[in-house]
Amino acid sequence: MDDYEQVTDNFRRAKFWWSSSRAVQKSTSITLFPAQEQPRYYTLTFHRRHRQLVMEYYMSHVVEEGKAIEVRKRQRKLYTNNPSNNWYGYKRTVWSHVLFEHPATFETLAMDPDMKQEIIEDLETFRESKDYYVKIGKAWKRGYLLYGPPGTGKSTMIVAMANFLDYDVYDLELTAVKNNTELKKLLIETTSKSIMVIEDIDCSLDLSGKRKKNAEKSEKDTDEEKLPPGVDKDDNTSKVTLSGLLNFIDGLWSACGGERIIVFTKNHVEKLDPALIRKGRMDKHIELSYCSFEAFKVLAKNYLNLDSHPLFETVQQLIEGSNITPADVAEKLMPKSSKVTAADKANTCLKNLIQALHKASEEVKSKEAAAAAAQLEEKGDVETVKIDKDDTGKDVD
């Protein structure tokens, strides 16, 4: 509201009047507030018979509506944690951010439609389950484990989740966290309605449950970095432990704030300690695998605006038997020239994709044949026979 503006509100058949004013400062020798910064206040006027309605219902209604408007109008942000080490003795905040404006959605996400719908329904259920989590006595949070080969859309899935829920994203870089205490501080500084992401967690730290000794690690450091005076070599090494990360996910401090999602991404499932990814911590495990024909159709619609094409049948026959990722398919479907017609673009891109699928299929068959031969040799079912030849070059019986 502008200064001295008046508005009328109606709530449960009762009328309320709001007015905006500024505090008038008494004339003194010292000016406490400039004219434009004098404290503002609001006056609510209503009939005395509505006093109970105001105290019990109307004021809480105003507060809840205000929060909802703030959420709708806010600009979502992408956060990343600042390095723990501060050589210059000054650090403003543990998180820095940029505006989050990535356009990916579930509609543009290339994956199996049934799995996509299952994830959407799971997210909707979580968003509307505040009372349920209170009832069962659990913190209002949920863990997702996204795993699969590189290029299968794990990061894009996170963006689609954030855009669907209208959440902020906190991208946590574990190698920049000094220790477990620092990790706890980062958690405390996050807000509700957010997604906490740890990407490639199998590459961030040794969290396999078989942590190496510091002495073994130090032997590998042949070229030591030159550090500023007063900075220890160990200060540059993250001391986050598996137990510290477990407490971060579902310990006592994980309950600070609500409506939070934690997402791990990784390429190799077997490299993590089972305690880290068990149900209850990572509640839903989602495998993002190689491109299927249904995923290809989504990409063809996104990149070429195609719903059907005579070459689709050939693509369908080849794509199921080739381990090609959605990222590789998308690269082949991206037009390389803007000076040709849409039909020519589609034909060229699809033919390039078909060539790539043929090559990928041959590579799969070659790997399968090599693996089968290695397996037979290991079992002893394959024998190497040397055939001697006489002086004339003929085989000797």
What 3-state class would DSSP assign to 21?
strand
DSSP3 helix / strand / coil % (the chain, rounded to 5): 45, 15, 40
Tell whether the model's pLDDT for residue 396 goes beyond 80.
no
Q: Evaluate whether 41 touches 23 at the Cβ level (below 8 Å).
A: yes
Q: Which two tokens stand for residue 68?
A: 């909802």
Query: In this predicted model, what pLDDT tens digit does every residue of 148-189 receive, in sequence order?
Result: 999 999 999 999 999 999 999 999 998 888 888 888 888 888
* CA-angle at 238, arms to 235 and 241, nearest 5°: 135
In DSSP terms, 146 is beta-bridged to 265, 286
Q: How far apart, in whole angstroms, are the C-alpha atoms of residue 125 and residue 119?
A: 10
What 3-state class would DSSP assign to 50?
helix
Task: State the average pLDDT over residues 374-391.
Answer: 64
Q: Evaluate whether 190 touches 78 at the Cβ level (below 8 Å).
A: no
Q: Which two tokens stand for residue 267?
A: 């390429």
* CA-angle at 336, arms to 334 and 339, nearest 5°: 120
List Cα–Cα distances, 318 to 174, 315, 362, in angstroms. 40, 5, 11
Query: In this predicted model, what pLDDT tens digit does every residue of 290-333 receive, in sequence order?
Result: 999 999 999 999 999 999 999 999 999 999 888 899 999 999 99
Residues present in the chain in total: 397
* CA-angle at 78, arms to 76 and 83, nearest 5°: 145
Tell whether the model's pLDDT for residue 214 goes beyond 50.
no
Query: In this predicted model, what pLDDT tens digit does every residue of 235-266 receive, in sequence order?
Result: 556 788 888 888 888 777 666 777 899 999 98
**Residue 20 is which amino acid?**
S
Select the more confidently predicted residue: 35 or 356.
356
List Cα–Cα distances, 202 to 89, 209, 282, in angstroms. 32, 12, 15
> Which pLDDT band holds residue 391 (cuts at 50, 70, 90)?
low
Spell out where 213-277 has E strands: 260-266
| Predicted model pTM | 0.72
Tell whether the model's pLDDT for residue 220 goes beyond 50.
no
The full set of domain ranges for the chain reads 6-22+37-73, 77-208+235-287, 293-379
Q: Which two tokens stand for residue 236?
A: 């540059």
Backbone angles phi, psi at 395, to 5 degrees: -65, 140
List Cα–Cα distances, 36 to 4, 18, 23, 24, in angstroms. 14, 21, 11, 11
Q: Evaluate whether 78 touches 146 at the Cβ level (below 8 Å).
A: no
Superfamily assignment of 77-208+235-287 in CATH? P-loop containing nucleotide triphosphate hydrolases (3.40.50.300)
> Which pLDDT band holds residue 340 (cuts at 50, 70, 90)?
confident
Q: How far apart, in whole angstroms, are the C-alpha atoms of residue 351 and residue 298?
A: 18
Return the minimum-mean-pLDDT range out of 81-90, 302-311, 370-379: 81-90
Select the more confidently predicted residue: 308 or 364.
308
Give every CB contact of residue 316 below 8 A, 6+ residues apart in sequence: 293
Tell whether the model's pLDDT for residue 208 goes beyond 60.
no
> Which pLDDT band holds residue 51 (cuts at 50, 70, 90)?
very high
pLDDT value of residue 4: 84
Task: State the average pLDDT over residues 267-292.
Answer: 85
Q: How high is the mean pLDDT of the chain?
A: 82
- Parallel/antiparallel/unpaired status of strands 95-99 and 77-81: antiparallel
Q: Evaluate whether 167 touches 261 at the Cβ level (below 8 Å).
A: yes
Work out the percent of the chain whose per-residue pLDDT is above 90: 46
pLDDT value of residue 295: 94
pLDDT value of residue 248: 80
Tell whether the model's pLDDT for residue 56 goes beyond 80.
yes
Question: At how many degrees (to 10) do helices 342-379 and 312-319 cross?
Answer: 20
Tell whether the model's pLDDT for residue 215 goes beyond 80.
no
Quick count: other Cβ atoms within 10 Å of Cβ 126?
20
pLDDT value of residue 169: 96
Query: In this predicted model, what pLDDT tens digit does every residue of 98-135 receive, in sequence order?
Result: 999 899 999 999 999 999 999 999 999 999 999 999 99
